[in-house]
A and B are shown apart, each in its own frame.
Chain A
Amino acid sequence: MDYSQFLAMKQEIGLLVVFLLVFLYDTFMPKKAQSNLPGVTCLFFALFTAACFCPCLLTNAESFSGMYESSAVIVTIKNILNVGVLIVLIQSMKWANSEMQIMRRGEFYELLLVTLFGMYLMISARHFLLFVIGLEAASLPLAAMVAFDKKHYESHEAAVKYIMTAVFSSAIFMMGLSFVYGLTGTLYFDGIANAIVGEDQLNVLLIVALAFVISGVGFKLSLVPFHLWTADVYQGAPTSVTSYLSVISKGATAFAFLVIMVQVFGTLYSQVWEWMLYGLIILTITIGNLFALRQSNMKRFLAFSSISQAGYIMLGVIALNTTGMASLLYYILVYIFSNLAAFGVVSAIENKTGKLSMEDYNGLYKTNPRLSFAMMLAMFSLAGIPPFAGFFSKFFIFTGAIQQGSIAIYVLVLIALINTIPSLYYYLRVVKAMFINDSETPIESFRSATSERLGLWISVGGIILLGIVSCVYNYLLDLTAPSDMFAGLL
């Protein structure tokens, strides 16, 4: 075997090194040095993240007979995820240092890094075997992370719900894969794509298989109707895990989903899965919004908001062009900053006071103006109010979809646009609670931990800067433009 093939996996290797360093530090360092573990992890990961931005990585590579692929776009999406993970790590420092977690926080970091590794594999896989390994590596440890608040009953319930749905969705997903394998005799992405062209395209089994594959991935993206676990799990899990689940896991899966749908099933687009996705997007955005309207728990509210956001992300897939892909990357980046800003505020308040209900946020502006501002910016960005980043990410993703050109997509974009109105309502509800509503017992004024503030500064900075600086999107657009993934599919 040619071991130099591993060199194509530079980011994976780097991540593995970080993982091992953290693991060794956690296991072998004396008790005294243990208290630095969160800081050390953040440092390692920050170095790794910075190193990954080296332009020398932006090359095309393929290894293990085409099972693994790397390219400039793939490196970039991994970098985007890294930035998000770094913010999550920084934000979770306070939580990891709390008395309840201090014994087990090493495992928290290790599990988190392993899931990230799984996501890397999902993104780079060009063979379903590798993809499934990645998928499972990214799913199963998450259940343990969800259950991390050992003394909280809800945390356990959430973990059980998560693992059961995850296992169930894996089963369906793999059943779909086995159909595909049975029809085509291969699990290579390009192999399947070639075989589908040769076959009678409208095979009933193939369509059902496709539905199963979509549902399997749809579980991770929480597309309606595969989303029901989301709210309970988001609410029950520790907030740091929830934020990880809602942005990183979702972002990675969205990109992997795009790759699968285009590279494997691209030829079936106009006849089959455009319409499947079409229905799912409408359902996801609308139902996510309808549920978000009446939530009173902040984490549950953000869960439904993230469901609805996933629907918008899927517009980048249905666009089936490079603009769509670039805007999907951009959307994920912006979404990372916006959602992590929101979760950062929620977790800062939760860590301090344990309060999570929207009513508790009444009058927050008077006591904690900075947190309120951060939350307001996050809400504005999520709702897509200019000039913040969220407006542009929505704008570009709509642009990408519209470039697809069919009337049906125009209608879809219109529906998505109409759906931004109720979303504006519920995002502003939070802002109203903080700035307008009065409370007799507001959350008292406090100074959040340095790590929490740092995380919030980064997120808020991202929200504002991405709104002003246009070169990021242009860069992504240039990056995706040479891709020939979409050639001849429409």
Chain B
Amino acid sequence: MDQITPLLILALPLCMFLFLGLAGNKMSHKMAGILGTLGMGVTLILAYSTAFTYFFSGNPDFIDAAGNRLQSVIFDFTWLEFTENLVIKLGFLLDPISAMMLVVITTISFMVHLYSLGYMHGEKGFQRYYAFLSLFSFSMLGLVVATNIFQMYIFWELVGASSYLLIGFYYTKPSAVSASKKAFIVTRFADLGFLIGILILSFFTETFNFIDMTSAPENVLASTGGATFMGASVLTWALVLIFMGGMGKSAMMPLHIWLPDAMEGPTPVSALIHAATMVVAGVYLVARMFPVYLMEEAALTIVTVVGALTALYAAIVACTQVDIKRVLAFSTISQIAFMMVALGVARPEIHEGVGYMASMFHLFTHAMFKALLFLGAGALIHAVHSNDYTAMGGLRKYMPITHITFLIGCLAIAGIPPFAGFFSKDEILVAAFENNMLWGLWMTAVAGLTAFYMFRLYYRIFWWNTPDYEKHGHVPHDAPWTMTLPLIILATVSIVAGFIPFGELVTWNREAYHIHLNWTVATTSVLVAVVAILIATVMYRKENAISDKIANSVKGLWTAAYNRFYFDELYIFITHKIIFNLVSRPIAWFDRHIIDGTMDMFATMAHKASGAIKGLQSGSIQTYVLVYLLGALLLGVVTVVCVML
């Protein structure tokens, strides 16, 4: 395969970012938007052709005679070479998951570019917005094609930075600023773990390269020489620390607190970054390192437990939120947790690692329908000028296209056949049941909750009671075509994506695997979902008091869930009360008095010394020559004396 196309996939968004960032202010909004969208469109075509070539061309670089797909390094050039082992490379790794991610990222990114033409129309800083979108697309693409963990880390930080920039896009709004700060600090904190994990791992394996690590994971295990630290093996530590980075990005409990706040950013950004692409980076990371994770049962168990707890927690919280974007945010957290669980329960001996395939499948379908839901939410907010569903209701009559597409998204996420979510979620449940009955039941319950809160949202927005829109002088209506077209496209994809023979394309060992439905699991999960939807219908289809009654009857739980189980308050308590008082204050004192004092002393000394010798520079040429001569003589004499002695 030629190297130009992959290179262009990365270079185009980067050039777009530089171009729009530097020259954007000189052009009109429309021009910048169209340019950005076109650039992304070309990237989309290139990425599609690359993925198509990878999956279907039959090129011996990509698939061997037995039908196993291969990992192929398209290019890998050395960026920094410190020592023979410590080499940092930047490259392009093409394998099933990276090819799939290319498709996901470029599709959603293009949709969001297109959608934003309408949604962001007339916003101040429109060009800056498009520049940041391009930067994000570049970083995310660089992340998924990383050939080594260090490259991934670099791009990992870059997506973090672009996410920070986009969350804080409305930088005149204090809440947006604090949300962007929060996102940055929390994910940075997690990335600290990631970095330490990388350092531990590469210290033992002496390589950053993914292929080296994953093709012979037993060597990775052997290289640690059975070293342990605090009762766990060093490899477990490394993997869990790396997973910590993934927890930060993918908003796993207890590092999830930034994601709901990140909804302060423009809604298309939430669709792109905080639903479809960046937040699944953690899942992608674990998938990328999966063979190494298989070496340590403990690490995978932690992945499963964290995922399962997060899934349930986020689903419960989602049932109580009023802000539609926050409902979707918690739903995202919960769905990503599904993917994590799927990875955590995947074992090669269980149906040839069906969990891995399911996780990637769900990543794919979820990206589509969650982006759809977010973009739909954007259209609603655009029409109603409020984020809360209390300001909505009965909108099905006013916004038919948004209504139908949103409904498709809800059906997909609820797992109703034949929509995409059913197939991928079903495989996850199969994997969970096969691993352990407990996880199977647990995740089925969460799936039921998902159906419930999504339809609660749906009914509150489109049915319930129609407020008097005309009284506010503003009748909601469907958005312009730039916004509805992406909705329609994504809705179509959400309907058909489930029929993609995913097992043929993406599996943990890259061998083809034939998906077959497990009817027991499928029937149960559909039944649960249908029951949940029925409950939601009863409670929310028309305005009534049932939901309030239920909320009052479990008031404590409801309030706790509404306040997200006080995680934010807990963090504030820990940081403000404990860390600030016990750690920061002493350090600040030390810094101010000891370190600054020493530095001040040096500064004063330097200034005094500089004042003392300033007479040397007198401006008189005679002095200069004299000093010169004395200097030369002194240099000679002192050396002679020293050498002779």
A interface residues with partner B (beta carbon < 8 Å): 160-161, 164-165, 168-169, 172, 202, 204, 207-208, 210-212, 214-215, 219, 225-226, 228-229, 231-232, 271-272, 275-276, 279-280, 287, 289-291, 293-294, 421-422, 425, 470, 474
Contact B636 A225 (CB under 8 A): no
Contact residues in B for A291 (Cβ distance below 8 Å) = 610, 613-614, 617
Contact B635 A214 (CB under 8 A): yes
Contact A202 B644 (CB under 8 A): yes
Measured in the bound complex, the distance between the Cα atoms of B606 and A160 in whole Å is: 32
Contact residues in A for B80 (Cβ distance below 8 Å) = 470
Measured in the bound complex, the distance between the Cα atoms of B639 and A275 in whole Å is: 8
Question: Is B627 at the interface (CB under 8 A from chain A)?
Answer: yes
Contact B635 A276 (CB under 8 A): yes
Contact residues in A for B123 (Cβ distance below 8 Å) = none
What 4 additional pairs, Cβ within 8 angstroms, besides A207-B643, A228-B623?
A: A161-B624, A215-B628, A287-B613, A470-B81
Q: Tell me which residues from 620 to 645 in chain B have a Cβ below 8 Å from any Cβ of chain A.
A: 621, 623-625, 627-633, 635-640, 642-644
Question: Is B609 at the interface (CB under 8 A from chain A)?
Answer: yes
Contact A160 B621 (CB under 8 A): yes
With A165-B628, A215-B632, A290-B606 as given contacts, are A207 and B81 in contact (CB-CB < 8 Å)? no
Contact residues in B for A219 (Cβ distance below 8 Å) = 628
Question: Is B65 at the interface (CB under 8 A from chain A)?
Answer: no
Question: Is B607 at the interface (CB under 8 A from chain A)?
Answer: yes
Measured in the bound complex, the distance between the Cα atoms of B638 and A275 in whole Å is: 10
Contact residues in A for B640 (Cβ distance below 8 Å) = 204, 207-208
4 nearest A-B residue pairs (beta carbon): A211-B636, A225-B631, A215-B632, A228-B624
Question: Is B79 at the interface (CB under 8 A from chain A)?
Answer: yes
Question: Is B619 at the interface (CB under 8 A from chain A)?
Answer: yes
Measured in the bound complex, the distance between the Cα atoms of B636 and A457 in whole Å is: 45
With A207-B640, A271-B643 as given contacts, are A215 and B631 in contact (CB-CB < 8 Å)? yes
Question: Is B616 at the interface (CB under 8 A from chain A)?
Answer: yes
B interface residues with partner A (beta carbon < 8 Å): 78-81, 602-603, 606-607, 609-611, 613-614, 616-617, 619, 621, 623-625, 627-633, 635-640, 642-644
User: Closest residue of chain A to B608, judged by CB?
Assistant: A290
Contact B639 A272 (CB under 8 A): yes
Task: Provide a sorted-by-A list of 18 A–B residue pairs whose CB atoms are within 8 angstroms.
Answer: A164-B621, A164-B625, A165-B621, A172-B628, A204-B640, A204-B644, A207-B636, A207-B643, A210-B636, A226-B628, A228-B627, A228-B628, A232-B619, A290-B613, A291-B610, A294-B607, A294-B614, A474-B81
Contact residues in A for B624 (Cβ distance below 8 Å) = 161, 165, 228-229
Measured in the bound complex, the distance between the Cα atoms of B603 and A225 in whole Å is: 23
Q: Say how far A385's CB is from chain B's closest CB, in angstroms.
A: 17
Measured in the bound complex, the distance between the Cα atoms of B432 and A457 in whole Å is: 59
Contact A225 B625 (CB under 8 A): no
Contact residues in B for A208 (Cβ distance below 8 Å) = 636-637, 640
Contact A293 B610 (CB under 8 A): yes
Contact of A212 among B606, B611, B632, B638 (CB under 8 A): B632
Q: Say how far B497's CB is from chain A's closest CB, in angstroms.
A: 40
- The winner among B81, B623, B643 for most chain A CB atoms within 10 A is B643
Contact residues in A for B81 (Cβ distance below 8 Å) = 470, 474
Contact B628 A169 (CB under 8 A): yes
Contact A293 B607 (CB under 8 A): yes
Contact residues in A for B632 (Cβ distance below 8 Å) = 172, 211-212, 215, 226
- The winner among B602, B607, B632 for most chain A CB atoms within 10 A is B632
Measured in the bound complex, the distance between the Cα atoms of B617 and A291 in whole Å is: 9
Contact B625 A165 (CB under 8 A): yes
Contact A422 B606 (CB under 8 A): yes
- The winner among B614, B621, B623, B635 for most chain A CB atoms within 10 A is B635
With A207-B636, A212-B636, A290-B609 as given contacts, are A172 and B629 in contact (CB-CB < 8 Å)? yes
Contact residues in B for A225 (Cβ distance below 8 Å) = 627-628, 630-631
Q: Say how far A328's CB is from chain B's closest CB, in angstroms.
A: 20
With A161-B621, A470-B79 as given contacts, are A294 and B610 in contact (CB-CB < 8 Å)? yes
Contact residues in B for A280 (Cβ distance below 8 Å) = 635
Contact residues in B for A211 (Cβ distance below 8 Å) = 632-633, 635-636, 639
- The winner among B611, B624, B633, B642 for most chain A CB atoms within 10 A is B624
Measured in the bound complex, the distance between the Cα atoms of B609 and A354 in whole Å is: 32
Q: Say how far A422's CB is from chain B's closest CB, in angstroms.
A: 5
Measured in the bound complex, the distance between the Cα atoms of B607 and A215 in whole Å is: 28
Q: Say how far A76's CB is from chain B's closest CB, in angstroms.
A: 20
Measured in the bound complex, the distance between the Cα atoms of B19 and A119 in whole Å is: 41
Measured in the bound complex, the distance between the Cα atoms of B602 and A287 in whole Å is: 15
With A172-B629, A228-B624 as given contacts, are A215 and B635 in contact (CB-CB < 8 Å)? yes
Measured in the bound complex, the distance between the Cα atoms of B636 and A168 in whole Å is: 17
- The winner among B603, B606, B614, B627 for most chain A CB atoms within 10 A is B606
Measured in the bound complex, the distance between the Cα atoms of B603 and A168 in whole Å is: 37
Q: Say how far A177's CB is from chain B's closest CB, in angstroms.
A: 13
Q: Say how far B495's CB is from chain A's closest CB, in angstroms.
A: 45
Contact A228 B639 (CB under 8 A): no
User: Closest residue of chain A to B606, judged by CB?
Assistant: A422
User: Closest residue of chain A to B80, judged by CB?
Assistant: A470
Measured in the bound complex, the distance between the Cα atoms of B623 and A254 in whole Å is: 26
User: Closest residue of chain B to A219, judged by CB?
Assistant: B628
Measured in the bound complex, the distance between the Cα atoms of B81 and A472 in whole Å is: 12
Q: Say how far B75's CB is from chain A's closest CB, in angstroms.
A: 15
Contact of B625 among A168, A204, A271, A275 (CB under 8 A): A168
Q: Say how far B25's CB is from chain A's closest CB, in angstroms.
A: 12
Q: Say how far B365's CB is from chain A's closest CB, in angstroms.
A: 39
Contact residues in B for A290 (Cβ distance below 8 Å) = 606, 609-610, 613
Measured in the bound complex, the distance between the Cα atoms of B81 and A382 in whole Å is: 23
Contact A276 B639 (CB under 8 A): yes
Contact residues in A for B643 (Cβ distance below 8 Å) = 202, 207, 271-272
Q: Say how far B419's CB is from chain A's closest CB, in angstroms.
A: 46
User: Closest residue of chain A to B638, judged by CB?
Assistant: A279
Contact residues in A for B610 (Cβ distance below 8 Å) = 290-291, 293-294
Q: Say how far B174's CB is from chain A's closest CB, in angstroms.
A: 24
User: Closest residue of chain A to B626, judged by CB?
Assistant: A228
Contact residues in B for A422 (Cβ distance below 8 Å) = 606
Q: Say how far A162's CB is from chain B's closest CB, in angstroms.
A: 10
Contact residues in A for B79 (Cβ distance below 8 Å) = 470
Contact residues in B for A287 (Cβ distance below 8 Å) = 613
Contact residues in B for A204 (Cβ distance below 8 Å) = 640, 644
User: Closest residue of chain A to B633, judged by CB?
Assistant: A211
Q: Say how far B292's CB is from chain A's closest CB, in angstroms.
A: 29
Contact residues in B for A202 (Cβ distance below 8 Å) = 643-644
Contact residues in A for B636 (Cβ distance below 8 Å) = 207-208, 210-212
Measured in the bound complex, the distance between the Cα atoms of B614 and A231 in whole Å is: 12
Contact B606 A207 (CB under 8 A): no
With A165-B628, A422-B606 as given contacts, are A231 and B617 in contact (CB-CB < 8 Å)? yes
Measured in the bound complex, the distance between the Cα atoms of B47 and A378 in whole Å is: 39
User: Closest residue of chain B to A226, judged by CB?
Assistant: B628
Contact residues in A for B630 (Cβ distance below 8 Å) = 225
Contact residues in B for A172 (Cβ distance below 8 Å) = 628-629, 632
Q: Say how far B53's CB is from chain A's closest CB, in angstroms.
A: 30
- The winner among A168, A225, A289 for most chain B CB atoms within 10 A is A225
